[in-house]
Amino acid sequence: MRLTLAIVLASLAIGPLIASPAAAQSTSWNAIVSGEAAITDNVFAAPLGGNRTPDMFFQLRPGFLFARNAPRMIHELTAEAEIVYYLLNSNVPSISGRGGWRGFFRTGPRSEVITSLGAGSGIVTSAASRLTADETMINVLPVGAVTFLQADANQFLSYVATREIRLSQTLFARWNKSDDNADENIVPEGQDPLMATTVESAEAGAAFGIDRSFRRQAVSLEVGASVQRLERIAPPGAAMGSRLDRQVNPRARAQWRYDIDRRLSTSVDGGLVYVVPFGKDPYNPDENRKPGLFPIVGAQFSLTEVWGRATATVRRDVTPNLFLAQNTVNDTASVAVAMPLPWLDDSRRRSPKLVGVGSFGIQRTQLVESETSETASSIGAARIDAAVIYTPRSGVSYGLRYELQYQTGDDRAVMAVQGFFRNTIYATFSVRYPDRVAGAVPKRRAGNATRADRKDLGAVGAEPVVPDLTEGDDEGGDER
């Protein structure tokens, strides 16, 4: 609750500073509200073999959006409260929130910078509903009524050195703190009350890249490193005790992209990640930790339409799981789609009324043992997330969504990971008033293009060729 209030107050304080009377014609204030009514067969992701509790729950997210489209820059400022009420499993609603700022700066005729700051809180099992169905990512998660606080910051610079060569630079930082709230569980009479386990993780890093394009293909090289602090504080006498890991992860990756035609493209990439522990663990001071070298590789097939996109990806990567406070090696196969549906109108019009969005993924996660830097266990996960969104007019949308989550367990992790199975059906809505927004920071510009000719992004400083299907615009729906 305190974090939510801080986000809203900070947003209200910063907004007037960004705006100015002289730029009133390019500034917009919007009231926004979105929400879901959902039913699930496992409300708090109870472990496999445990008591799966069905429930119906409601989520309401009121907030505001401030946007300013000034010469050579765009600002977006958002703040939302999130109210979650479980029909059978809560006496009072839980209140959390999130807020953030995103900025787009055209720093010169050949360069642009995209920045973002964000913070939020919530319940792990309901966090995915904040994203659209094509944006959700498969990931190993803790089970139970786990709550979290998180914050992140990102900066991306792109510079066109020549017609064929583009340079990029990235800075990022993220922080996450989670609590399993075991101390709130009711225990049988005569037993000692449970104590909560908390996890606090952080990562910060930088990367530099160079991209060389040809007529139908492109090659790129990216090098970077991140510093991680992963801490788990467990109750005294817990089977998996407290732990603090600090690591540096330098990495390098090369990529080749090829445009098959004006719609289809493919890419292949590969590289290495070196996990280097440093410092002493105050909870386990006698451990002698060793570094480890891990290969990373990936391939992607993409379809880019005038309006819509689809990608199929196979990848092995090494990333820290901030909820588990442990580095992971992830083997993932996934498909993501966002396409117009032709049943109500011409699917190639500027802003279709009916769209389908979704993602499907399977993943094997191997936990990197902190002392030896070897993979010590394996966890399987699968996710299906699909939705149909109807936009009768700009700023208003309704949707129907289905989500399936499956995860196997492993008790050998630093934080024991349990498996679960969960089905959820959502009825969703989203309203923005007034519907006009002064400007929007393109979501997909902060990173590499999927096509060699970069036509999925457009020219530097321009709007993306493929707009966001789920955002809507001033031309969306029926204009009356």
DSSP states along 241-258? --EEEEEEEEEEEEEEEE
C-alpha to C-alpha distances, 449 to 104, 182, 219, 457, nearest whole angstrom: 17, 44, 11, 7
Looking at the chain, the whole-number percentage of residues with pLDDT higher than 70 is 83
The answer, yes or no, to whether residue 474 has pLDDT greater than 70, is no
21: which residues sit within 8 A by CB, 6+ positions away? none
Provide the token pair at 218. Answer: 């492109």
Q: How far apart are CA 15 and CA 97, in angstroms?
A: 18
Higher pLDDT: 297 or 14? It is 297
Please give the pLDDT value at position 447: 60
DSSP-derived 3-state class of residue 14: helix
29: β partners: 66
The answer, yes or no, to whether residue 19 has pLDDT greater than 80, is no
Q: How far apart are CA 198 and CA 1, in angstroms?
A: 18
Please give the pLDDT value at position 7: 44
Tell me the one-letter amino acid at 118: G
Average pLDDT over residues 313-330: 93
The answer, yes or no, to whether residue 187 has pLDDT greater than 70, is no
The answer, yes or no, to whether residue 357 has pLDDT greater than 60, is yes
Please give the pLDDT value at position 413: 56
Please give the pLDDT value at position 464: 47
Phi, psi of 32 (to 5 degrees): -130, 145
Residue 476, CA atoms < 13 Å, CB-side half-sphere: 26
Q: How far apart are CA 35 and CA 58, in angstroms?
A: 7
Average pLDDT across the chain, whole number: 84
The answer, yes or no, to whether residue 431 has pLDDT greater than 80, is yes
Please give the pLDDT value at position 461: 43
Q: How far apart are CA 320 and CA 326, in angstroms?
A: 6
Please give the pLDDT value at position 264: 93
Provide the token pair at 57. Answer: 């729950």
Pairing state of beta strands 198-213 and 217-233? Answer: antiparallel
Provide the token pair at 25. Answer: 């014609």
Please give the pLDDT value at position 399: 96
H helices, E strands: number in the chain: 2, 18
Q: Find out whether 193 and 206 touch, Cβ atoms under 8 Å.
A: no
Tell me the one-letter amino acid at 195: M
C-alpha to C-alpha distances, 434 to 16, 32, 65, 304, 396, nearest whole angstrom: 19, 9, 10, 31, 10
**pLDDT tens figures, 82-102:** 999 999 887 888 899 999 999
DSSP string, 58-108: EEEEEEEEEEEEETTEEEEEEEEEEEEEETTT-SS-EEEEEEEEEEEEEEE
Average pLDDT over residues 237-258: 90
The answer, yes or no, to whether residue 254 has pLDDT greater than 50, is yes
Q: How far apart are CA 468 and CA 104, in angstroms?
A: 16
Q: Find out whether 11 and 77 touch, Cβ atoms under 8 Å.
A: yes
pLDDT tier at 477 (50, 70, 90 boundaries)?
very low
Q: Find out whether 203 and 322 touch, Cβ atoms under 8 Å.
A: yes
Provide the token pair at 40. Answer: 């699930």
What is the Cα Rg of the chain in Å?
A: 23
- Which residue, 154, 148, 146, 27, is CA-closest to 100? 154
pLDDT tier at 8 (50, 70, 90 boundaries)?
very low
pLDDT tier at 190 (50, 70, 90 boundaries)?
low
pLDDT tier at 184 (50, 70, 90 boundaries)?
low
- Which residue, 179, 225, 184, 182, is CA-closest to 200? 179
With tokens 């939510």, the residue in question is 4
Higher pLDDT: 119 or 415? It is 119
**pLDDT tens figures, 112-159:** 999 999 999 988 877 777 788 887 778 888 877 788 999 999 999 999
Its pTM stands at: 0.83
Average pLDDT over residues 252-267: 94
Q: How far apart are CA 360 and CA 333, in angstroms?
A: 8
Angle at 308 between CA 305 and CA 311, to 5 degrees: 85
Please give the pLDDT value at position 350: 61
Q: How far apart are CA 181 and CA 179, in angstroms?
A: 5
Q: Find out whether 218 and 209 touch, Cβ atoms under 8 Å.
A: no
Higher pLDDT: 358 or 304? It is 358
Q: How far apart are CA 198 and CA 324, in angstroms?
A: 10
22: which residues sit within 8 A by CB, 6+ positions away? none
Average pLDDT over residues 172-194: 74
pLDDT tier at 188 (50, 70, 90 boundaries)?
low
Lowest mean pLDDT among 20-29, 321-330, 448-457: 20-29
Lowest mean pLDDT among 20-29, 91-100, 398-407: 20-29
The answer, yes or no, to whether residue 18 has pLDDT greater than 60, is no
Q: Find out whether 324 and 140 touch, Cβ atoms under 8 Å.
A: yes
DSSP-derived 3-state class of residue 24: helix
pLDDT tier at 201 (50, 70, 90 boundaries)?
very high
Q: How far apart are CA 156 and CA 102, in angstroms?
A: 11
Q: Find out whether 180 and 144 touch, Cβ atoms under 8 Å.
A: yes
226: β partners: 205, 249
**Where are the alpha helices (H) located in 124-270, listed in sequence order?**
124-127
Higher pLDDT: 179 or 477? It is 179
Average pLDDT over residues 413-417: 61
With tokens 């786990």, the residue in question is 146
The answer, yes or no, to whether residue 73 has pLDDT greater than 60, is yes
